[in-house]
Amino acid sequence: MKITARLALALAAAIAGVLYLSSYLHVQSDGLRLSLMALGLTGVSLWIIYWRVARPLDRLTLWMRDIRAGDEARFPVRARALETLVAEASRLAQSLGEARAVAEQEARLRHRADAVWTAERLKEHVRRQLEGRPMFLVANREPYEHCRKGKAIEVRTPASGLVTGLEPILRACGGTWIAHGSGDADWDVVDARGKVKVPPHDPQYTLKRVWLSEDEMDGYYYGFSNEGLWPLCHIAHTRPLFQSEDWARYKAVNEKFAQALLQEMAGTQEPCVLIQDYHFALLPRLIKTFRPDARVAIFWHIPWPNPEAFDICPWQTAILDGMLGADLIGFHIQFHCNNFLETVDRTLESQVDWERFAVRRSSHATLVKPLPISIAFPTPQTAPAPALEELLKPLGLRASAIGVGVDRIDYTKGIVERFRAVERFLELHPEQKGEFSFVELAAPSRTLIQRYQDLVAAVEQEAVRINGRFQSKQWRPIVLLKRIHSHEQIEPFYKAARLCFVTSLHDGMNLVSKEFVAARDDELGVLILSRFTGAARELRDALLINPYDIEQMAEALHQALTMDEREQARRMASMRRALKDHNVYQWAGRLIEELAKIPSVDALTGPSEPGT
């Protein structure tokens, strides 16, 4: 029975009792009858307060005292009247537990004279480096979307490697994340300036949303960014498409983001700006023109091609000039830095300093640095690996071992090639029929672009064709789960899989490979990794493959499935050490340190925003 019903029943009983008592005692005075009634109601109220508020509060106090002492007991009683307080106390207890785990880890590492980067270390590092200067991060993708689900609004985290890499930084350092508001309920939760505090249950920084029309998205995002620059920079043999109307919208959206950023920076001194990726190649110059005191960095998360390939772009001069407005340009690997400097050297009138890896254009210098991004590792302790049988049961499958792939459905990821490698593996090793299944967690991406629609169809058709060759009643070789999966849904597959298969045809970094390694705290499992990823430079104990070589990939599958546990542990321990030493906090610390080193420039008098 709900508390409201119990309260009504108790009040009714109290009133009836008082009336009966007054009648029994032959009380004639209305005043005395009312006094008795008030006395009864007071007693009932005190009883309700004690049992529904005071007693749970006492237990909550004792529970929080136990938590503070390190005893992770569950809250001992349900208290509907205190649901909000209990929920906040639970989140506080979780935060205390995570902070305690981090402190214990740091103490162990200090004892071993190690220097791991953590959120707390990054926060202190940023505080010393920035000396109070505010931080602004600009990205097309927002870290949280508010979406309608029936009459309710739910919060979703987009499937994005960029969000995976960057969100821990804002959690650690605070500041403002400026992004396109893409959720259908984003408007409903922001203030008059389009801002909302995030994460929703533990606000640590500000999300500023910029609103784009369908025409702007079609031209800037789907058009120039993803049908032009994306295939241009990835060597996946897909022809880039460049159209003047897409370029016009790309410029207009860059100017719109510049206006939003300049408004947010108004009244600040020497702000630090971290611009993310190929969607905003023009933004550094726009910001630097109107706020020369700002320290501006742009990080290019995708590969940079050789000069001959980039020469295809009709507006390459404008793109290079826009990027060189930044004080610092970051790429994942040195090879991409070299390609960029060679492109600048051939295209623009500028001075390239190959010793410092810098470009001087007019009176402004830009540093070009390799800064490989990573993920938040070490991570708090997570749930143990699920039993394989329980993981596969909802899928109607039985298998002795599984492999896992996690991707956006994109032609650069080599998903079709991966499926064909599984097919070839089963041809060469028929004894694995009924024993090994490959699970592909595939998130649809850019579905308004025709070539992506065609790719989804091709991936589905290939899975159906291969399954048709080999499947039995309770087993199929390829399990294609085509939807967006949260990290909580992906992690059980990472933990239970015998191998993770990353077959990118070309990739700036690829964080899936690092997520798999981070999840394997049992130090087992095998990573099969394309040598055309940035991650291949760091995770050298993976089985490195050429994703165009189906025979080699099939052999790597066999090697992974037959590798003994000692060899698995040796390789995985080595990769986990590399990941611990070079996690996202270390990446952010290096990036911000490089930016903070840049000499300040006194603000110049000029127009307040682009286009004026």
Residue 411: which CATH number? 3.40.50.2000
Average of per-residue pLDDT across 102-128: 69
Confirm whether 100 is domain-assigned. Answer: no
For residue 362, name the pLDDT band (cuts at 50, 70, 90).
Answer: confident
Q: Which residues contact 147 (CB under 8 A, 6 or more apart)?
A: 153, 154, 155, 156, 183, 184, 185
Q: Which of 307, 302, 258, 257 is nearest to 277 (CA)?
A: 302
Confirm whether 572 is domain-assigned. Answer: yes
120 C-beta neighbours (distance < 10 Å), count: 14
**Tokens 């001959």 map to which residue?**
308
Please indicate, yes or no, whether residues 448 and 404 belong to a single structural domain of this protein. Answer: yes
CA distance linking residue 535 with residue 373, whole number of Å: 9
Please indicate, yes or no, whether residues 257 and 281 belong to a single structural domain of this protein. Answer: yes
**Tokens 């370029």 map to which residue?**
247
CA distance linking residue 114 with residue 112, whole number of Å: 5
**Tokens 């049961």 map to which residue?**
393
Confirm whether 603 is domain-assigned. Answer: no
Please indicate, yes or no, whether residues 319 and 342 belong to a single structural domain of this protein. Answer: yes
CA distance linking residue 75 with residue 60, whole number of Å: 7
Cβ(251)–Cβ(279) under 8 Å? no
Please indicate, yes or no, whether residues 497 and 539 belong to a single structural domain of this protein. Answer: yes
- Give the DSSP letter of residue 279: G
- Give the DSSP letter of residue 74: P
612 C-beta neighbours (distance < 10 Å), count: 8
Whether residue 341 is predicted with pLDDT greater than 90 in this model: the reply is yes
Please indicate, yes or no, whether residues 183 and 316 belong to a single structural domain of this protein. Answer: yes
**Tokens 């127009």 map to which residue?**
607
Torsion angles phi and psi, residue 384, rounded to 5? -65, 165
Please indicate, yes or no, whether residues 335 and 396 belong to a single structural domain of this protein. Answer: no
Question: How much of the chain is helix, strand and coil, in % rounded to 5?
Answer: 50, 15, 35
Q: Report how far apart the first and last C-alpha atoms of the chain are (Å, whole number).
A: 65
What are residue 439's DSSP bridge partners?
Answer: 404, 479
What pLDDT does 6 receive?
A: 56
CA distance linking residue 532 with residue 541, whole number of Å: 15
What are residue 299's DSSP bridge partners?
Answer: 276, 330
What pLDDT does 607 receive?
A: 43
Give residue-wise pLDDT tens across range 554-563: 999 999 999 9
Please indicate, yes or no, whether residues 395 and 431 belong to a single structural domain of this protein. Answer: yes
Which DSSP string corresponds to 385-405? PPPHHHHHGGGT---SEEEEE
CA distance linking residue 600 with residue 291, whole number of Å: 11
Q: 601 or 75: which carries more pLDDT confidence?
A: 601
Cβ(443)–Cβ(485) under 8 Å? yes
Q: Kindly give the pairing relationship between strand 401-408 and strand 436-443.
A: parallel
What are residue 403's DSSP bridge partners?
Answer: 438, 499
CA distance linking residue 195 with residue 186, whole number of Å: 10
Give residue-wise pLDDT tens across range 36-67: 666 666 666 666 665 666 667 667 676 666 65
CA distance linking residue 273 with residue 172, whole number of Å: 16
Give residue-wise pLDDT tens across range 250-307: 999 999 999 999 999 999 999 999 999 999 999 999 999 999 999 999 999 999 999 9
Residues constituting the chain: 612
77 C-beta neighbours (distance < 10 Å), count: 12
Confirm whether 610 is domain-assigned. Answer: no
Cβ(278)–Cβ(309) under 8 Å? no
Whether residue 335 is predicted with pLDDT greater than 50 in this model: the reply is yes
Please indicate, yes or no, whether residues 343 and 460 belong to a single structural domain of this protein. Answer: no
CA distance linking residue 90 with residue 455, whole number of Å: 45
What pLDDT does 203 receive?
A: 92
Q: Which residues contact 325 (CB under 8 A, 6 or more apart)?
A: 284, 285, 286, 287, 288, 289, 296, 364, 366
Please indicate, yes or no, whether residues 451 and 540 belong to a single structural domain of this protein. Answer: yes
Confirm whether 120 is domain-assigned. Answer: no
Query: How many alpha carbons lie under 13 Å from residue 439 in its C-beta half-sphere?
Result: 29
Confirm whether 31 is domain-assigned. Answer: yes
Give residue-wise pLDDT tens across range 458-481: 999 999 999 999 999 899 999 999
Query: Domain range for residue 508?
Result: 388-582
Confirm whether 383 is domain-assigned. Answer: no
For residue 280, the surrounding DSSP H or E stretch is none
Detail the DSSP E strand segments found in 150-204. Answer: 152-156, 176-180, 195-198
Domains in the chain: how many in total?
A: 3
Q: Which residues contact 196 (CB under 8 A, 6 or more apart)?
A: 189, 190, 206, 207, 209
Please indicate, yes or no, whether residues 366 and 394 belong to a single structural domain of this protein. Answer: no
Please indicate, yes or no, whether residues 287 and 162 belong to a single structural domain of this protein. Answer: yes
For residue 112, name the pLDDT band (cuts at 50, 70, 90).
Answer: very low
How does the average pLDDT of the chain come out, rounded?
87
For residue 605, name the pLDDT band (cuts at 50, 70, 90).
Answer: very low
Sign of the Cα torsion 91, 92, 95, 101 reads negative
Tokens of 365: 């210098």
For 568-589, give the secondary structure using H, E and C.
Answer: HHHHHHHHHHHHHHCCHHHHHH
Q: 9 or 129: which carries more pLDDT confidence?
A: 129
Instruction: Write down the H helix ranges in 118-179.
Output: 119-130, 161-173
Please indicate, yes or no, whether residues 429 and 496 belong to a single structural domain of this protein. Answer: yes
Of the three residues 83, 117, 145, the one that is the final residue of a domain is 83
Torsion angles phi and psi, residue 328, rounded to 5? -145, 130
Whether residue 13 is predicted with pLDDT greater than 80 in this model: the reply is no
What are residue 207's DSSP bridge partners?
Answer: 177, 196
What are residue 33's DSSP bridge partners?
Answer: none
Give residue-wise pLDDT tens across range 490-545: 999 999 999 999 999 999 999 999 999 999 999 999 999 999 999 999 999 999 99
For 329-382, give the secondary structure using H, E and C.
Answer: EEECCHHHHHHHHHHHHHHCCCEEECCCCEEEECCEEEEEEECCCCCCCCCCCC
Q: Which residues contact 567 (CB under 8 A, 6 or more apart)?
A: none
Q: Which of 509, 517, 492 is nearest to 377 (CA)?
A: 517
**Tokens 């058009």 map to which residue?**
223
607 C-beta neighbours (distance < 10 Å), count: 10
Q: Which of 261, 274, 259, 372 is nearest to 328 (CA)?
A: 274
Cβ(257)–Cβ(284) under 8 Å? no
Confirm whether 536 is domain-assigned. Answer: yes
Give residue-wise pLDDT tens across range 129-153: 988 889 999 999 999 999 998 889 9
